[in-house]
Structure 1
């Protein structure tokens, strides 16, 4: 690992990232062809948070949050701090004091491949956090890592400046160069879903709206009256 702090990397537009956050993880994920999702392990510390921001990345050693302190200085309004570890860790590398510092800098939330603690305080503060674990296990500040380098969380590579979208459904990353496409695709998907919602409210069935009856026939699914059915 090269112990380096990369300063002022290019970022996606923070307003565009926020708009992606308003669309939500499920919509953006589907709109982009089901890519970028970090997986079901990343859960919010408290329910109801929804954010979209630009990534500042930190690579730490397990049980060591030194580089989070370094990364805080590199954060600016509209960012999301994304923390990876060099090997698997569930230690509580982030808590209320870090959140206090990030709020002061206008950071929208944090995503951790490790653990988070001080959950009650984070909820009261309204500071959004997603992690793989909740753990009171503390950390040291001893080993150098890196800031604003590509990191991998949940099998997805996050580059500094990428858009990060997170809500109750989890977390996903949108590469900086794909943000415009993601916005257009998410808007189109929401319009399509609004039309489908209205159709369902009017009583139309998904079998008919999605043209699934012919598909069922192709798959050999039969409709049999109960009195003629035998196991």
Structure 2
């Protein structure tokens, strides 16, 4: 009988692929802004790929012992194309959770990528595969395959809660988590902010960016703008 520490939930609800695809090519910084700077994973979880990486997909979650990857192997076996395998390895970097062979297997299954609150190995080999992988560090020391662990329960990764089916977005800046039940609203807000930022960039290029808001905020905070009357030219 399944119990805490030894659970594998084979399937879970996923958002429609057309909605998930809408999160592609939108910067993580935009999602962070529209979520109040929340749901952003710790900066230590970084991409190991070449610059320009971007991934978006449904979270398939794994909680594992910091030195073990047995349940990560099981997660790969049950993952669907596009899923992002998110691993809570307690932030430990003494043992690698995945390496090049596992990453190659994941790519052949069209898994969308990995986010690991822990370490990986074979960094160069993984980078050459082009599979998006985000991790806290690297080490040559491999893992055991004994358990315990859980698949598709709510975990913590990079100090952010992640549930199966949440949307994971990662790019050169890091990783954000979009709660599944708020995905529609957050995507709509992200598209609006993206459009607004594009308009701001156009205004800057045309020399028309209104900067009056800076002094307005300073005045509201009671900060006086002083002029040095003793200046000479």
TM-score by length of structure 1 reads 0.92
Q: What is the deviation of 1:226?
A: 6.8
**8 Å contact 2:91–2:136 — kept in the other structure?**
no
Q: Following the alignment from structure 2 to structure 1, what is the Cα–Cα distance between the partners of residues 229 and 87?
A: 57
Aligned: 1:17 with 2:54: no
Q: Following the alignment from structure 2 to structure 1, what is the Cα–Cα distance between the partners of residues 17 and 116?
A: 20
From 20, 27, 30, the counterpart of 2:30: 27
Q: What is the deviation of 1:33?
A: 2.2
Which residue does 2:69 correspond to in 1? 65
Which residue does 1:40 correspond to in 2? 43
Q: CA RMSD in A?
A: 1.7
Structure 1 residues 120 and 220: CA distance shift in structure 2, 3 A: same
Which residue does 1:162 correspond to in 2? 166
Which residue does 1:179 correspond to in 2? 183
Write out per-residue CA displacement over residues 99-134 of structure 1, whole angstroms, 9 at most, x where no aligned residue. 111112111110000101111111211111001112
**8 Å contact 1:20–1:28 — kept in the other structure?**
no
Q: Following the alignment from structure 1 to structure 2, what is the Cα–Cα distance between the partners of residues 224 and 6?
A: 66
Return structure 1 stretches of 4+ with deviation > 6 angstroms: none
Task: Specify every segment of 5 or more residues in structure 1 that has no aligned partner in the other structure, as ranges.
Answer: none
Higher helix share: 1
From 101, 107, 130, the counterpart of 1:103: 107
Q: Following the alignment from structure 1 to structure 2, what is the Cα–Cα distance between the partners of residues 38 and 175?
A: 13
Out of 217-226 and 153-162, give the one that drifted further. Answer: 217-226
Which residue does 1:214 correspond to in 2? 216
Which residue does 1:112 correspond to in 2? 116
Task: Specify every segment of 5 or more residues in structure 2 that has no aligned partner in the other structure, as ranges.
Answer: none
**8 Å contact 1:67–1:145 — kept in the other structure?**
yes
Q: Following the alignment from structure 1 to structure 2, what is the Cα–Cα distance between the partners of residues 111 and 58?
A: 10
From 119, 130, 146, the counterpart of 1:142: 146
Aligned residues: 226
Q: Following the alignment from structure 2 to structure 1, what is the Cα–Cα distance between the partners of residues 132 and 99?
A: 11
**8 Å contact 2:152–2:163 — kept in the other structure?**
yes
Q: Following the alignment from structure 2 to structure 1, what is the Cα–Cα distance between the partners of residues 229 and 78?
A: 67
**8 Å contact 1:78–1:107 — kept in the other structure?**
yes
**8 Å contact 1:36–1:173 — kept in the other structure?**
yes
**8 Å contact 1:113–1:132 — kept in the other structure?**
yes
**8 Å contact 2:166–2:177 — kept in the other structure?**
yes
TM-score by length of structure 2 reads 0.91
**8 Å contact 1:99–1:127 — kept in the other structure?**
yes
Q: What is the deviation of 1:216?
A: 2.0
